Structure 1
Amino acid sequence: MEQLTQLFKDINSVLWGPVMLIFLLGTGVWLTFQLRFIQVRFLGKGFKITFAPLFKKEKQEGIHSFKALATSISAQVGTGNLAGVATAIAAGGPGAIFWMWISSFFGMATIFAEAVLAQLYKVKKNGSVHGGPAYYIRDGLGSKWLAGFFAVAIIIALGFVGNMVQSNAIATAMNQALDSTSFGLNLGLGIVIAILIGLILFGGIDRISTFAGNVVPVMALLYIGGSLVIMVEYWDQVLPTLQLIVQAAISPEAAGGGVLGATVKEAIRYGIARGLFSNEAGMGSTPHAHAVAQVKRPSHQGLVAMVGVFIDTVIICTMTALVVLVTGAHKTGLEGSAITQEGFARGLGEFGIPFIAICLLFFAFTTILGWAFFGEVNVKFLFGEKAVPAYRAFVLLFIVTGAVVQVEFVWQMADTFNALMVVPNLIAVLALTKIIKKTWNSDRLQS
């Protein structure tokens, strides 16, 4: 296992080197200027479009913007927000959070573009709507082989490996809460999670979106509420901690981040990589959820998608980072979600560990559902409906496997396959920028 872990580390040192980071940030910067800082000027409208359906008395048919966003956020808000933020700080120092913010700011422009393309190139087959990067790569970019490459990459990256990360995080959190390291407990947890996921997954996108729409707002508010309690308790440390994050992003040694052995390069690498794993902007995953939304204009769903990144990273990831840093949990030598649990244990006392275990259980559970669905769309794209049952069976198998393997191994493997998704998706987004701009300008005139 150690040799495999090192192999993926070596691969990631190349994949997540300067070229990939420039590619990701560069795409976001390019789109930000092309769309004239849309994430600043129209984020408010995005919130309005997102939550308007909740206040309409008449029952809406199909999947409206909020349900699509809930499905998207159910995938975005998971271990990346809890374990991912903690590992970013542990590996890249406090400055990694600054680069996570930077990636999310420009990522809002990227995810707007992805959602617009998902709406433009979605297809309806057998009464169901399908869309996502594989469709806009094939039909917009005109490249079947690149679409196929993306489809294979996302099936492995999210449907299989990504869901190993989620079940692994649940097992780690439960072990911490129960003070156990039992293989039997991990295996049992993996089996139970797989059974529950299977019951919902076999109900299709309608059941997934309904479940996400009900659970996501509750779990997010619960987590934010718990974090705010700790912020009040450590109120005198909040401002210095925010200053530390900015200082450590530029000069880790000067900010005291050098204690962790972190450099600016590591802060950038882990901040952007974990930021991507959390908000998924540019990765090509959430467009599958945004494609099925029934909206008047494609750009409306693009604005809704930006709201998802804002909630995921600017609010929830920041809450996690502050809890970990103000309590000093990042200095304990723990790994993954155990760091976040330690922070909540210090802030909320004995209640902190079970609290974060419950939050992580729901976060990871809904992410598994979202990612399993995203992979399923691409299985249908490649092989048709007949391959879906086999795919679902493999998803459940990987969930069980993830619960019993080492933490670092699954994170390193996830980073590798995430990178393989990013490349074809961003090639298409950049190549189709003119169409994105034309659609946005047209939709604005008709709004």
Structure 2
Amino acid sequence: MQSWVDFINGIIWSPALIYLCLGAGLFYSITTRFMQVRHFGEMLRLLFSGQSSDKGISSFQALAVSLSGRVGTGNIAGVAAAIGFGGPGAVFWMWVVAFLGASTAYYESTLAQIYKEEDEGQFRGGPAYFIEKAMGQKWYAWIFAIATIIACGLLLPGVQSNSIGNAVAAAFGPGEMIETTLGTFSSAKIISGAIVCLVLAIIIFGGVKRIAHFTQIIVPFMALGYIVMAFVVILLNIDMVPHVFATIVGDAFTPMAGVGAAIGWGVKRGVYSNEAGQGTGPHAAAAAQVDHPAQQGFVQAFSIYIDTLLVCSATAFMIIITGAFNVHGAEGAFLIQNLPADIAANSPVFTQMAIETAMPGLGKPFVAIALFFFSFTTILAYYYIAETNVAYIHRTIHVPGLIFVLKLVLLASVFYGAVKTADLAWAMGDVGVGLMAWLNIIGILIIFFMAKPALKALKDYEAQKKAGVTEYVFDPVKLGIKGADYWEERLKRKGQKAPDLGEASSSSGTAKTTP
């Protein structure tokens, strides 16, 4: 099974996907004139603006739901894997992916807002929806929807629960070994898997509103607590900070594990962690209640900074500062070995050992608790994403009970992942991430060259902001954007009219307005 999954991974995560992720981020950064820098202040302002409604959630709730997907085991075990297989220089390439990926996140999330729909009293949207409406290729949208249901409903949840099981076993001991039909597993992993499934079932059977309310409380709390812990570890070793920076930047260009390994693992784990371009973030973005699609695009772009530049960097600094890592070379050899050889790089143990080194007795249980919240909220986000794509398929073919089946499959995947080996769980997760990234990035690039809807939305928003409007209005017809049915109906229903801003907000930059 492991060799078969690794073979598939080798095809999906070829250098072509690495360069596609970096190239798309650079392309959108240039075409949006580096909006992730120019509009940083606006991102912060919009973060806490907007209110939820009966049909949609607030911008902050949407940020929390998407962050619950972005901030997960990839921020702890994923960063460890990037360092363990790519060397410290991989962290630099994670930063590059985050900076460039913020513009990709803006673009895909704005598309999700433009082409969202109302479905049974709530907003739905995501790549499947905007691929169908903006590209006009329903078959391609269906492929994405099916791939996403498989990835988020079956493959990815096991990665998160696997890290929970491993962290609990490392912190409190594996307990007794129990024989089952699936193999021999530790009682600690079985119990932790059962508890996660029980709490998860209570929430996912309550719908998207319950998921949003849960994540908006837990996500800020867990991220802040983790960053504070990292800050304490860094302060205790403050004299090492310049050395850590020099190690990360120096190894990025003369990497000990090879240029390909550093860039490859940095990009792979960067994409896995912040999900820019993967197509997961747009699902939560579409559910937000906003006055203009670009607003949620800004908020989602900011989430990339929170995920990688704050949380992932916190993990990397703790690991490198304390030297709690190994770097694997070719054919099982170690380029650096500071820890026992049997410690898997694809696990949270590097991070646990780092905190343990600085604060003995605290590292293992703290990371176990942090991983529970990080991974649990990510599983919630995966369920919501899979459910949204099932709802998309229901628009054409209604299969009674499909949502219920999805919930059962996801719960089974979570339990199975909690007791399985880390390498297999991560490999299966990488297959899911890679498939979605390929389909989504190609889709949004085609849409850009067909109509540039997200870029038009950005220019329109900038024009209205420059004009000092008190209430932003989005008129897709005026901008030459087709298929944005919700926004067209919203304008008619509210009796609004887009402000006359002249050429700045026209669809092509050449349209004239009458005095």
Asked if TM exceeds 0.5, the reply is yes
1:308 to 271, 291, 303: 303
**Is the 1:147–1:424 Cα contact (8 Å) retained in structure 2?**
no
Correspondence for 2:74: 80
**Is the 1:43–1:306 Cα contact (8 Å) retained in structure 2?**
no
- Match runs of 1:8-407 below 5 Å: 8-52=5-49, 62-180=56-174, 182=177, 183=185, 184-252=187-255, 258=256, 262-331=257-326, 332=339, 333=341, 334-335=343-344, 336-383=347-394, 384=398, 386=400, 387-407=402-422
Could you give the per-residue CA deviations for residues 127-180 of structure 1, whole angstroms, max 9, x where no partner exists? Answer: 121100000011111111111111111111122111000000000000010122
User: One-letter code of the match for 2:151?
Assistant: A
Q: Distance in 2 between matches of 1:44 and 1:240?
A: 31
Q: CA deviation at 1:14?
A: 2.7
Correspondence for 2:2: 5
Query: Helix, strand or coil: the match of 1:350?
Result: coil
Q: Distance in 2 between matches of 1:23 and 1:84?
A: 20
2:456 to 418, 435, 438: 438
Could you give the per-residue CA deviations for residues 170-206 of structure 1, whole angstroms, max 9, x where no partner exists? Answer: 0000001012264222122112111110100011110
Q: CA RMSD in A?
A: 1.4
Q: Distance in 2 between matches of 1:242 and 1:6?
A: 36
Q: Distance in 1 between matches of 2:216 and 2:262?
A: 34
Q: Distance in 1 between matches of 2:94 and 2:399?
A: 38
Structure 1: gaps spanning 5 or more residues = 253-257
Q: Distance in 2 between matches of 1:98 and 1:120?
A: 33
Q: Distance in 2 between matches of 1:385 and 1:288?
A: 21
Q: Distance in 1 between matches of 2:19 and 2:96?
A: 12
Change (3 A) 1:59 1:157: closer
Could you give the per-residue CA deviations for residues 207-227 of structure 1, whole angstroms, max 9, x where no partner exists? Answer: 000000011111111101100
Q: Give the structure with the larger helix fraction.
A: 1
Could you give the per-residue CA deviations for residues 372-418 of structure 1, whole angstroms, max 9, x where no partner exists? Answer: 11011111212447310111111001111001111001111111121
User: One-letter code of the match for 1:347?
Assistant: A
User: One-letter code of the match for 1:398?
Assistant: S
User: One-letter code of the match for 1:346?
Assistant: T
Q: CA deviation at 1:52?
A: 3.6
Q: Which moved more, 1:424-433 or 1:270-279?
A: 424-433
1:414 to 429, 450, 468: 429
1:426 to 429, 441, 444: 441
Q: CA deviation at 1:370?
A: 0.6
Q: Distance in 2 between matches of 1:242 and 1:60?
A: 45
User: One-letter code of the match for 1:394?
Assistant: V
User: One-letter code of the match for 2:445?
Assistant: L
**Is the 2:52–2:289 Cα contact (8 Å) retained in structure 1?**
no
Q: Distance in 1 between matches of 2:10 and 2:28?
A: 27
Please give the TM-score of this superposition, normalised by the length of structure 1.
0.94
User: One-letter code of the match for 1:160?
Assistant: L
**Is the 1:136–1:428 Cα contact (8 Å) retained in structure 2?**
no
User: One-letter code of the match for 2:411?
Assistant: L
Q: Distance in 2 between matches of 1:47 and 1:7?
A: 45
Structure number, greater radius of gyration = 2
**Is the 1:283–1:422 Cα contact (8 Å) retained in structure 2?**
yes
User: One-letter code of the match for 1:208?
Assistant: I
Could you give the per-residue CA deviations for residues 59-82 of structure 1, whole angstroms, max 9, x where no partner exists? Answer: 866411001000110111000000
Please give the TM-score of this superposition, normalised by the length of structure 2.
0.82
Structure number with higher relative contact order (C-alpha < 8 Å, ≥ 6 residues apart): 1
Q: Distance in 1 between matches of 2:242 and 2:141?
A: 46
Q: How many residues end up aligned between the 2 structures?
A: 432
Q: Distance in 2 between matches of 1:412 and 1:190?
A: 19
Q: CA deviation at 1:51?
A: 2.4
Q: Distance in 1 between matches of 2:158 and 2:45?
A: 35
Identity of aligned residues (%): 38
Q: CA deviation at 1:8?
A: 2.2
Could you give the per-residue CA deviations for residues 74-105 of structure 1, whole angstroms, max 9, x where no partner exists? Answer: 11100000000001100111011011001111
Correspondence for 1:255: none
**Is the 1:111–1:306 Cα contact (8 Å) retained in structure 2?**
yes
Could you give the per-residue CA deviations for residues 329-375 of structure 1, whole angstroms, max 9, x where no partner exists? Answer: 11314221111111111122101111111111100010010111101
Query: Helix, strand or coil: the match of 1:284?
Result: coil
Q: CA deviation at 1:427?
A: 1.7
Query: Helix, strand or coil: the match of 1:190?
Result: helix
Q: CA deviation at 1:444?
A: 1.5
User: One-letter code of the match for 2:80?
Assistant: A
Structure 2: gaps spanning 5 or more residues = 178-184, 327-338, 466-515
